[in-house]
Structure 1
Amino acid sequence: MPRAVCQVSLPDQSTPPEWVHLLPMGTVRGVDGRGPYVLRDQAHAAQVIAASGTGVDLPIDYDHDAILPNGRRPIAAGWIKALDARPDGIWGRVEWTTAAAAHLTAREYRYLSPVIDHTRSGDVLRLRMAGLTNTPNLSALTALASQEQLDAMDLLVPIRAALGLPDSATPDQITAAAAQSRQAAQTLTGVARALGLPDAATPDQITAATQARTSPPAASNPPDPSQYVPMSQFTALSADLAAMRQRLDTDAAGQAVTAAQAQGKVTPAMRDWALGYAAKDPQGFTAWCSAAPVLVAPGTLAPSGPAPAAPGVGDQAVTAVCSQLGLDPKALTTPATKEA
């Protein structure tokens, strides 16, 4: 499970305190950004105390010599003899060694750093030990702190002001606001580059460049006539292009239908329908031709000789094909003129 090292300042007094504040109630984060660490209520604090009490006094060392690979032999500065769950967190009763008491009285050490186990979400599980240190981290542990230690949090005051946040903004809110400001700055840089401005262009410069591109030309700078054509000419040209496109589509449809007739899949009676289909949906007509059956001998554009008789009851194949195509079987008997 994750383990964290926190800090709390000790009071400035002639003798070391017997009871020290080890963990605060609520949700806190270290000044260095670690955390958050959560001690929900006194019931949760009682659970932490029960998990920490192994029947052996919890040690207090110097500078976390017992857990950090600093090459020094760990020496006890004191022993936590009892733990107590109070409204403001967990407190511990400490018996200091003579040497540690002298260091504290001389203010050679001023902070106590508890070591805790916690879940990935930050819930405190157990208090392991503590260490005397001079590098404070958890500013929320200030019940016994001197005013000098409280001043460390003043570093966040100008940051909140620069981000436009209230004095009550938490470190998480400050981090989120800083991320939004960074994203906005990156967006402005992209806009500046698109306008041909340097990356460091100010918002006022970006606004001016945008207005210059979107504003109509000044009366003193009339448009260049060589760059424009009269609307009448533009309209006529557009109409010519549309007529040309329609002729091309019609020619293409005629070629497709003629090819389908040559394959025997379109009869003369179907030509008008096929021309409309091919002109409206060339791809659909091509797909239909691929799947359509051969109705007349390939290469025959029109039947020759006397008109065939109307299909009778026995002409089941012709009748079935006409039914699928939506045609009147009698239409196949209508004489048609060969195409030139």
Structure 2
Amino acid sequence: MTVLDAFAADPDAASAKRGPEWIKLAPRGKFTARDGRVFDVDPELLASRFDREGIDLPIDIDHATVKKALFGESAPAVGWISKLEGRADGLYGKAEWLDEGLRVLAARTHRYISPTWKADDAGKVTWLHSAALVAAPAASMPAVASADLSATPEKPMLKAIAAALGLSEDAAETSCLSAISNLKARIDPAVHNQALDQVKTLTAELEARNTADHKARVEALLGGALEKKKISPAQRERYEALCATPEGLAQVTALIETLGAGLAPSGLDERRAPGDVATLSAEDRTVMRALGLSEEDYRKANGLTAA
């Protein structure tokens, strides 16, 4: 196990009460962290990427740049790494200390350096994000040492958060943050209830309009049939009952279309003398069968003398 003391590369800095100019960030090659994870560091690879990007790396306290940024909190640097260099025993960084960094180093409350980097599944380190002054030795805890930026420093907590948000356990920080932001955009319950009430009102209005339209169609059909004497006034109530549904209206419409214009003498236009038995026409019998009436009931409904 390698312990990365902030003053290891510059022992005179501690006695001189100044910040060390060069700090060792990681050992060369494979090493095992105290939490059991194995990493493989290629100092030249990391130094080359640093040179290409041309961006100084922050030094913070207890990995605040990673942990506090997750919740949108401020995480100011206490120093900056302006250069990376590969040496025989590992990766070194040239540090430019700010006043707060010098104060922390002088107080010796955070003596150790812990790098924050990204590594692939095999443990190969591909990118150095920042470094932190910590109270515990490097790689001492999952929440502190060698954090992979594709996940939170404390992976079990991220899994729980992802599950609560309905995401997969391996969801990245950015996915979790996006889901949390989306929670703020949810519809207010009051607005939701108001929308439901509007839907109910519109539904009731539509049903009322459909009912009125249906009734108007029935009135038009039966009124026309009466005018053309295809049905008698006594038959209207029975036909109207059959037209209670759209399907029934369609069936009655088809039935009335088959009836001829004008009914046979039925006693409605002129009453027959008692005892004068009227003969039912073929149309009378068609209507009688359609209404499911016996001849006696049909004659009674139409004011005809019983046979």
TM-score range, shorter chain: 0.3 to 0.5
TM-score of the superposition, structure 1-length normalised? Answer: 0.35
| TM-score, length of structure 2 as denominator length | 0.39
Of the two structures, which has the highest relative contact order with CA contacts closer than 8 Å and spacing of 6 or more? Answer: 1
